[in-house]
C-alpha cells in the first residue's frame, strides 16, 4: 500500500487535497482522466446533481462540487471510505452540497427514483474486477440507470482498455475516448423532438440516420468531440501509466 494525495483540479475547491491509500482495489482516477471528464461535461455540471457511483475516495464528486454542481451524491458500500468522504465534506465546509449513501450500488439502482424530472449527471467508475466477474450485473446496472434517468441527463462510464463496450444501448450515440489504460464513454438521454413525436403519431419519419455524435453533448461540452466513427482503439495512448490506472474513483 502507498499513501498519496489527490488534488482537486479546478473551481472553488481548487488545490484542496484528499489523502488515500493506493492499493490493488483502490487506485484513484488519474488527474488527466478527471480533467477530460469535466472538460467534456463542461456547462452540464453547474446547477445539476452529480452522482458519483462507486465513489471510492469521492474525488470526482468533490470535483463536481468545486465546479458548481448543485449537489454531489456519493454512493459507496465500504463504510471506511464513506466515513472519509463525510470527513472531507466537513473539512471543506460543503456538507450542504454533499450526500453520502452507504449502499450496494446494484441494489440502489433498482430502487432509485429521480426526483423532479430535472437532468442529472451520472458517473460510474466500477472496481475493475466488476468488469470481469460481475460484468452482467454491471451491464444491467447501466441499462437500468439509462432507463430511469430524466431527459437531457448524461451518463459517463470509466472502464479499462480492453473491456468490450459493444453491449451499450445505441452504441453509435456514445462518445468514447481512451486515456492511457482508461476509457471514458459518454451518452446523453436526449428528449424526443418534434419529428419523433410526429413519427409516433403516424407521420412519415425522417429516413436520415441520427448523427453518432450527440448534439446535446456538443451544446454543453467544453471539449471538441471526436470523429463520428472514433473508438478507443483509434486514439493514440495518452500518458499511459500502469500505476495510475483507476478502478475506484
Q: Which overall architecture, per CATH, does domain 2-192+206-244 show?
A: 3-Layer(aba) Sandwich (3.40)
pLDDT, one tens digit per residue, over 147-184 is: 999 999 999 999 989 899 999 999 999 999 999 999 99
What are the sequence ranges of the domains in the chain? 2-192+206-244
The pTM of the full predicted model, rounded to 2 decimals, is 0.81
Mind listing the pLDDT tens digit for each residue in 64-85?
999 999 999 999 999 999 999 9
- pLDDT tens per residue across span 216-225: 455 555 554 3
Exposed / middle / buried, residue 231 (Cβ in 10 Å: 0-12, 13-18, 19+): middle
Q: Are 131 and 96 in contact (CB under 8 A)?
A: no
pLDDT higher than threshold 60 for residue 189: yes
φ, ψ dihedrals at 73, nearest 5°? -105, 115
Per-residue pLDDT averaged across 100-111, rounded?
A: 97
- pLDDT above 90 covers what percent of the chain? 63
The rounded distance, in Å, linking the Cα atoms of 198 and 78 is 48
Phi-psi region of 116 (alpha: psi -120 to 50; beta: other; left: phi over 0): left
Amino acid at each position: 500500500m502507498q499513501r498519496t494525495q489527490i488534488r482537486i483540479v479546478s473551481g472553488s475547491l481548487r488545490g484542496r487535497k484528499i489523502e488515500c491509500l493506493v492499493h490493488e482495489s483502490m487506485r484513484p482516477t488519474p488527474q488527466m482522466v478527471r480533467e477530460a471528464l469535466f472538460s467534456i461535461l463542461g456547462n452540464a455540471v453547474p446547477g445539476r446533481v452529480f452522482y458519483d457511483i462507486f465513489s471510492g475516495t469521492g474525488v470526482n464528486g468533490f470535483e463536481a462540487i468545486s465546479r458548481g454542481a448543485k449537489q454531489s451524491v456519493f454512493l459507496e458500500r465500504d463504510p471506511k471510505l464513506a466515513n472519509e468522504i463525510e470527513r472531507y465534506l466537513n473539512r471543506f465546509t460543503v456538507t450542504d452540497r454533499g450526500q453520502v449513501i452507504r449502499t450496494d450500488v446494484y441494489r440502489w439502482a433498482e430502487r432509485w427514483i429521480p426526483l423532479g424530472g430535472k437532468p442529472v449527471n451520472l458517473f460510474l467508475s466500477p472496481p475493475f474486477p466488476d468488469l470481469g466477474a460481475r460484468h452482467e450485473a454491471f451491464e444491467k446496472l447501466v441499462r437500468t440507470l439509462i432507463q430511469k434517468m430524466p431527459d437531457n441527463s448524461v451518463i459517463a462510464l470509466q472502464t479499462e482498455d480492453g473491456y468490450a463496450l459493444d453491449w451499450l444501448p445505441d452504441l453509435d450515440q456514445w462518445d468514447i475516448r481512451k486515456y492511457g489504460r482508461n476509457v471514458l464513454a459518454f451518452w446523453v438521454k436526449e428528449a424526443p423532438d418534434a419529428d419523433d413525436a410526429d413519427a409516433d403519431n403516424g407521420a412519415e419519419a425522417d429516413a436520415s440516420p441520427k448523427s453518432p455524435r450527440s448534439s446535446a453533448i456538443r451544446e454543453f461540452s467544453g471539449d471538441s468531440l471526436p470523429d463520428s466513427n472514433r473508438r478507443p482503439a483509434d486514439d493514440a495512448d495518452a500518458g499511459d501509466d500502469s500505476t495510475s490506472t483507476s478502478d475506484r474513483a
